[in-house]
Amino acid sequence: MDVIDFLEGLKLTLEHLKSYVDGNTTDSRASSISDQIEKIKTPFKAFQETVEKYEKSLGEASTRGRFERVSTTIKWALKEISGDVEKLKVAIMQPIQIINTLLSLQLL
């Protein structure tokens, strides 16, 4: 559940940040936030590529049998994805902290 909560929270955060940046094109802090979002894209793309490896066997169009999918799902959920989510968290921690600081300065 923590993995899902983290990924949903990240998605929502990035959507709101994009909306903020798009609506404040002349704001220097928005430009700095946009720079940090760019830094998040590389580790996120690497994570996305890892997840896509499992798409054929986990998706609705899977040609594998039901029991084979269960095995792959368990492997994916318990081994691969949790480690990759931790790597993603570490990789985006600094840009997220900078974004938080910039947003805090906005309130001053």
What is the 3-state secondary structure of 20-88?
HHHHCCCCHHHHHHHHHHHHHHHHHHHHHHHHHCCHHHHCCCCCCCHHHHHHHHHHHHHHHHHHHHHHH
**Domain limits for position 24:** 2-107
Which whole number is the average pLDDT over 90-108? 92
Band (pLDDT 50/70/90 cuts) for residue 75 is low
Mean local confidence (pLDDT), 15-40: 94
Tokens of 35: 């720079």
Mean pLDDT of 79-104: 91
How many distinct structural domains can be found in the chain? 1
